[in-house]
Amino acid sequence: MIRKLFAKHDNWFFKAGFFITAFMVLLVLIGQIWTPYDPAAMDAAAKAQGPSLAHLMGTDYFGRDIFSRVLEGAGATLVIAFFVVLLGAGLGTLVGALTGYFGGVVDEVLMRICDALTAFPSVLLALIILAVLGPGRLNVIGVLALVFIPSFARIVRTEYARIKKLNYVSLAKLQGISTPRILLKHILPNIMPVLLPAVSIGFNNAVLAEASMSFLGVGVSASEVSLGRMLSDSQNYILRGLPWYAIFVGLTIVLLILGFSLLGEGLRRED
Protein backbone atom coordinates (compact mmCIF):
# COMPACT_ATOMS: atom_id res chain seq x y z
CA MET A 1 0.00 0.00 0.00
CA ILE A 2 2.89 2.32 0.84
CA ARG A 3 4.50 1.48 -2.49
CA LYS A 4 1.28 2.41 -4.27
CA LEU A 5 1.14 5.68 -2.36
CA PHE A 6 4.72 6.51 -3.29
CA ALA A 7 4.07 5.65 -6.92
CA LYS A 8 1.18 8.11 -6.93
CA HIS A 9 3.10 10.90 -5.19
CA ASP A 10 6.56 10.35 -6.56
CA ASN A 11 8.55 13.17 -5.02
CA TRP A 12 10.97 13.54 -2.12
CA PHE A 13 8.83 16.00 -0.23
CA PHE A 14 6.12 13.41 0.09
CA LYS A 15 8.45 10.56 0.97
CA ALA A 16 10.42 12.52 3.57
CA GLY A 17 7.23 13.96 5.03
CA PHE A 18 5.65 10.54 5.13
CA PHE A 19 8.57 8.99 7.02
CA ILE A 20 8.94 11.82 9.53
CA THR A 21 5.20 11.90 10.21
CA ALA A 22 4.97 8.12 10.43
CA PHE A 23 7.93 8.08 12.86
CA MET A 24 6.40 10.76 15.08
CA VAL A 25 2.94 9.22 15.06
CA LEU A 26 4.41 5.81 15.87
CA LEU A 27 6.39 7.29 18.74
CA VAL A 28 3.29 9.00 20.09
CA LEU A 29 1.21 5.84 19.74
CA ILE A 30 3.81 3.86 21.67
CA GLY A 31 3.83 6.65 24.25
CA GLN A 32 0.12 6.11 24.82
CA ILE A 33 0.73 2.50 25.84
CA TRP A 34 4.18 2.58 27.37
CA THR A 35 6.60 5.26 28.52
CA PRO A 36 10.00 4.60 30.14
CA TYR A 37 8.79 6.27 33.35
CA ASP A 38 5.46 7.41 34.62
CA PRO A 39 5.28 10.94 33.14
CA ALA A 40 4.00 12.30 36.46
CA ALA A 41 6.30 10.31 38.79
CA MET A 42 8.71 12.53 40.70
CA ASP A 43 12.14 11.31 41.71
CA ALA A 44 13.99 13.54 44.20
CA ALA A 45 17.22 11.67 43.57
CA ALA A 46 17.24 12.57 39.87
CA LYS A 47 16.38 16.27 39.77
CA ALA A 48 17.25 18.53 36.81
CA GLN A 49 19.64 16.13 35.08
CA GLY A 50 20.97 16.44 31.55
CA PRO A 51 20.40 13.69 28.98
CA SER A 52 21.70 10.29 29.96
CA LEU A 53 20.99 6.68 29.08
CA ALA A 54 18.60 6.43 32.00
CA HIS A 55 16.82 9.66 31.03
CA LEU A 56 17.16 10.21 27.26
CA MET A 57 16.07 13.84 27.44
CA GLY A 58 17.03 14.49 31.05
CA THR A 59 14.72 15.33 33.95
CA ASP A 60 12.99 18.45 35.24
CA TYR A 61 13.15 20.04 38.69
CA PHE A 62 10.75 17.50 40.08
CA GLY A 63 12.85 14.64 38.78
CA ARG A 64 10.26 13.71 36.15
CA ASP A 65 11.54 12.04 32.98
CA ILE A 66 11.27 14.58 30.13
CA PHE A 67 11.23 11.95 27.37
CA SER A 68 8.18 10.30 28.93
CA ARG A 69 6.54 13.70 29.33
CA VAL A 70 7.33 14.66 25.70
CA LEU A 71 5.69 11.44 24.51
CA GLU A 72 2.57 12.17 26.53
CA GLY A 73 2.57 15.86 25.62
CA ALA A 74 3.03 15.19 21.91
CA GLY A 75 0.11 12.76 22.15
CA ALA A 76 -2.10 15.43 23.67
CA THR A 77 -1.01 17.97 21.05
CA LEU A 78 -1.64 15.54 18.19
CA VAL A 79 -5.06 14.60 19.50
CA ILE A 80 -5.99 18.26 19.73
CA ALA A 81 -4.61 18.94 16.24
CA PHE A 82 -6.50 15.93 14.87
CA PHE A 83 -9.86 17.08 16.18
CA VAL A 84 -9.21 20.69 15.21
CA VAL A 85 -8.52 19.64 11.61
CA LEU A 86 -11.37 17.13 11.57
CA LEU A 87 -13.89 19.72 12.74
CA GLY A 88 -12.36 22.70 10.94
CA ALA A 89 -11.88 20.94 7.61
CA GLY A 90 -15.20 19.09 7.91
CA LEU A 91 -17.30 22.15 8.63
CA GLY A 92 -15.19 24.28 6.27
CA THR A 93 -15.83 21.79 3.47
CA LEU A 94 -19.55 21.79 4.23
CA VAL A 95 -19.72 25.60 4.20
CA GLY A 96 -17.54 25.79 1.07
CA ALA A 97 -19.60 23.18 -0.77
CA LEU A 98 -22.92 24.89 0.00
CA THR A 99 -21.72 28.41 -0.81
CA GLY A 100 -19.79 27.39 -3.91
CA TYR A 101 -22.53 25.21 -5.35
CA PHE A 102 -25.62 27.24 -4.55
CA GLY A 103 -24.22 30.78 -4.57
CA GLY A 104 -26.79 33.51 -4.01
CA VAL A 105 -28.06 34.26 -0.51
CA VAL A 106 -26.47 31.18 1.10
CA ASP A 107 -23.14 32.29 -0.29
CA GLU A 108 -23.54 35.89 0.83
CA VAL A 109 -24.52 35.07 4.40
CA LEU A 110 -22.04 32.27 5.12
CA MET A 111 -19.10 33.91 3.41
CA ARG A 112 -19.67 37.25 5.16
CA ILE A 113 -19.55 35.37 8.48
CA CYS A 114 -16.29 33.80 7.31
CA ASP A 115 -14.99 37.25 6.32
CA ALA A 116 -15.83 38.54 9.79
CA LEU A 117 -13.88 35.62 11.30
CA THR A 118 -10.88 36.19 9.03
CA ALA A 119 -10.87 39.93 9.72
CA PHE A 120 -9.12 39.12 13.01
CA PRO A 121 -5.73 37.42 13.01
CA SER A 122 -6.73 33.85 13.81
CA VAL A 123 -4.39 33.33 16.76
CA LEU A 124 -5.49 36.63 18.29
CA LEU A 125 -9.14 35.70 17.87
CA ALA A 126 -8.54 32.30 19.43
CA LEU A 127 -6.68 33.95 22.30
CA ILE A 128 -9.54 36.33 23.02
CA ILE A 129 -12.20 33.61 22.96
CA LEU A 130 -10.06 31.30 25.10
CA ALA A 131 -9.37 34.08 27.57
CA VAL A 132 -13.14 34.36 28.00
CA LEU A 133 -13.93 30.63 28.03
CA GLY A 134 -10.93 29.65 30.13
CA PRO A 135 -8.31 27.04 29.33
CA GLY A 136 -8.95 23.34 28.70
CA ARG A 137 -8.52 20.78 25.98
CA LEU A 138 -12.09 20.89 24.67
CA ASN A 139 -12.13 24.68 24.59
CA VAL A 140 -8.89 24.73 22.61
CA ILE A 141 -10.30 22.26 20.10
CA GLY A 142 -13.55 24.18 19.70
CA VAL A 143 -11.96 27.58 19.32
CA LEU A 144 -9.21 26.50 16.93
CA ALA A 145 -11.69 24.54 14.81
CA LEU A 146 -13.83 27.68 14.58
CA VAL A 147 -10.99 29.89 13.41
CA PHE A 148 -9.86 27.21 10.96
CA ILE A 149 -13.24 26.97 9.20
CA PRO A 150 -12.90 30.01 6.88
CA SER A 151 -9.63 28.96 5.27
CA PHE A 152 -11.04 25.55 4.33
CA ALA A 153 -14.38 27.04 3.31
CA ARG A 154 -12.69 29.44 0.92
CA ILE A 155 -10.60 26.76 -0.81
CA VAL A 156 -13.54 24.38 -1.15
CA ARG A 157 -15.93 27.09 -2.29
CA THR A 158 -13.70 28.07 -5.21
CA GLU A 159 -13.48 24.45 -6.34
CA TYR A 160 -17.23 23.80 -6.10
CA ALA A 161 -17.99 27.03 -7.97
CA ARG A 162 -15.60 25.96 -10.73
CA ILE A 163 -16.67 22.33 -11.00
CA LYS A 164 -20.43 22.93 -10.86
CA LYS A 165 -20.19 24.52 -14.33
CA LEU A 166 -18.47 21.50 -15.86
CA ASN A 167 -20.42 19.25 -18.17
CA TYR A 168 -20.27 16.16 -16.02
CA VAL A 169 -22.22 17.96 -13.30
CA SER A 170 -24.84 19.10 -15.85
CA LEU A 171 -25.02 15.51 -17.02
CA ALA A 172 -25.56 14.26 -13.46
CA LYS A 173 -28.42 16.74 -13.04
CA LEU A 174 -30.05 15.54 -16.26
CA GLN A 175 -29.71 11.96 -15.07
CA GLY A 176 -31.83 12.92 -12.09
CA ILE A 177 -29.13 12.46 -9.47
CA SER A 178 -29.96 14.14 -6.18
CA THR A 179 -28.13 17.32 -5.19
CA PRO A 180 -26.57 15.86 -2.00
CA ARG A 181 -25.23 12.98 -4.07
CA ILE A 182 -23.81 15.37 -6.67
CA LEU A 183 -22.11 17.38 -3.93
CA LEU A 184 -20.67 14.32 -2.18
CA LYS A 185 -20.05 11.69 -4.82
CA HIS A 186 -19.56 13.67 -8.00
CA ILE A 187 -17.73 16.83 -6.94
CA LEU A 188 -16.00 16.03 -3.64
CA PRO A 189 -13.59 13.38 -5.04
CA ASN A 190 -12.44 15.96 -7.57
CA ILE A 191 -11.39 18.52 -4.98
CA MET A 192 -9.19 16.07 -3.04
CA PRO A 193 -5.99 17.18 -4.84
CA VAL A 194 -6.64 20.65 -3.43
CA LEU A 195 -8.13 19.64 -0.09
CA LEU A 196 -5.51 17.12 1.06
CA PRO A 197 -2.52 19.52 1.04
CA ALA A 198 -4.70 22.04 2.87
CA VAL A 199 -5.53 19.42 5.51
CA SER A 200 -1.86 18.63 5.93
CA ILE A 201 -0.93 22.29 6.34
CA GLY A 202 -3.94 22.62 8.66
CA PHE A 203 -2.45 19.95 10.91
CA ASN A 204 0.74 21.91 10.95
CA ASN A 205 -1.02 25.13 11.90
CA ALA A 206 -3.07 23.35 14.56
CA VAL A 207 0.06 21.97 16.25
CA LEU A 208 1.62 25.44 16.18
CA ALA A 209 -1.54 27.15 17.39
CA GLU A 210 -2.01 24.71 20.27
CA ALA A 211 1.63 25.18 21.26
CA SER A 212 1.28 28.98 21.11
CA MET A 213 -1.95 28.97 23.14
CA SER A 214 -0.57 26.69 25.81
CA PHE A 215 2.72 28.56 25.83
CA LEU A 216 0.82 31.74 26.60
CA GLY A 217 -1.12 29.97 29.31
CA VAL A 218 -4.59 29.98 27.71
CA GLY A 219 -4.38 26.55 26.08
CA VAL A 220 -4.68 23.30 27.96
CA SER A 221 -5.19 23.68 31.71
CA ALA A 222 -2.27 23.61 34.14
CA SER A 223 -2.81 19.99 35.13
CA GLU A 224 -2.69 18.74 31.53
CA VAL A 225 0.45 18.08 29.51
CA SER A 226 1.03 19.38 26.01
CA LEU A 227 4.05 20.45 23.99
CA GLY A 228 3.15 24.14 24.27
CA ARG A 229 2.69 23.86 28.02
CA MET A 230 6.07 22.15 28.38
CA LEU A 231 7.81 24.73 26.18
CA SER A 232 6.38 27.40 28.46
CA ASP A 233 7.69 25.58 31.58
CA SER A 234 11.08 25.06 30.00
CA GLN A 235 11.79 28.80 29.84
CA ASN A 236 12.78 28.81 33.50
CA TYR A 237 15.29 26.05 32.85
CA ILE A 238 17.12 27.93 30.08
CA LEU A 239 17.93 30.85 32.37
CA ARG A 240 19.34 28.45 34.94
CA GLY A 241 21.67 26.84 32.46
CA LEU A 242 19.53 23.79 31.64
CA PRO A 243 18.70 24.17 27.93
CA TRP A 244 17.88 20.46 27.34
CA TYR A 245 14.26 20.71 28.26
CA ALA A 246 13.50 23.50 25.77
CA ILE A 247 15.69 21.97 23.06
CA PHE A 248 14.00 18.56 23.14
CA VAL A 249 10.47 19.92 23.34
CA GLY A 250 11.24 22.40 20.58
CA LEU A 251 12.77 19.69 18.44
CA THR A 252 9.66 17.56 18.81
CA ILE A 253 7.46 20.42 17.64
CA VAL A 254 9.79 21.13 14.72
CA LEU A 255 9.79 17.47 13.62
CA LEU A 256 5.99 17.26 13.78
CA ILE A 257 5.58 20.40 11.74
CA LEU A 258 8.32 19.52 9.29
CA GLY A 259 6.63 16.17 8.64
CA PHE A 260 3.21 17.68 7.94
CA SER A 261 4.67 20.51 5.85
CA LEU A 262 6.65 18.17 3.64
CA LEU A 263 3.62 15.91 3.29
CA GLY A 264 1.47 18.87 2.28
CA GLU A 265 4.05 20.12 -0.19
CA GLY A 266 4.46 16.62 -1.63
CA LEU A 267 0.71 16.25 -2.15
CA ARG A 268 0.52 19.66 -3.77
CA ARG A 269 3.42 19.06 -6.17
CA GLU A 270 1.76 16.07 -7.76
CA ASP A 271 -0.29 18.09 -10.24
**Interface with other proteins includes 161 (CB under 8 A)?**
no
Minimum CB separation of residue 142 from other proteins in Å reads 33
Minimum CB separation of residue 266 from other proteins in Å reads 20
Q: Residue 82: exposed, middle, or buried by beta-carbon count in 10 A (0-12, 13-18, 19+)? A: middle
Minimum CB separation of residue 245 from other proteins in Å reads 48
Which residues, 6+ apart, have CB-to-CB distance to 85 below 8 Å?
148, 199, 202, 203, 206
Minimum CB separation of residue 164 from other proteins in Å reads 11
Minimum CB separation of residue 170 from other proteins in Å reads 6
Cα–Cα distance, 55 to 12 (Å, whole number): 34
**Interface with other proteins includes 7 (CB under 8 A)?**
no
* Total residues binding other proteins (CB under 8 A): 15
178 vs 236, beta carbon nearer other proteins: 178
Task: Give the distance, in angstroms, between the CA of residue 212 and the centroid of all CA atoms in the same chain.
Answer: 13
Minimum CB separation of residue 188 from other proteins in Å reads 9
Among 55, 137, 164, 186, indicate the residue that binds other proteins (CB under 8 A): 186
Among 175, 180, 223, 271, indicate the residue that binds other proteins (CB under 8 A): 175
Contact code string over 188-207 relative to other proteins, x by CB under 8 A: -xx-x---------------
**Interface with other proteins includes 176 (CB under 8 A)?**
yes
Among 44, 174, 222, 239, indicate the residue that binds other proteins (CB under 8 A): 174
Among 22, 40, 132, 166, indicate the residue that binds other proteins (CB under 8 A): 166
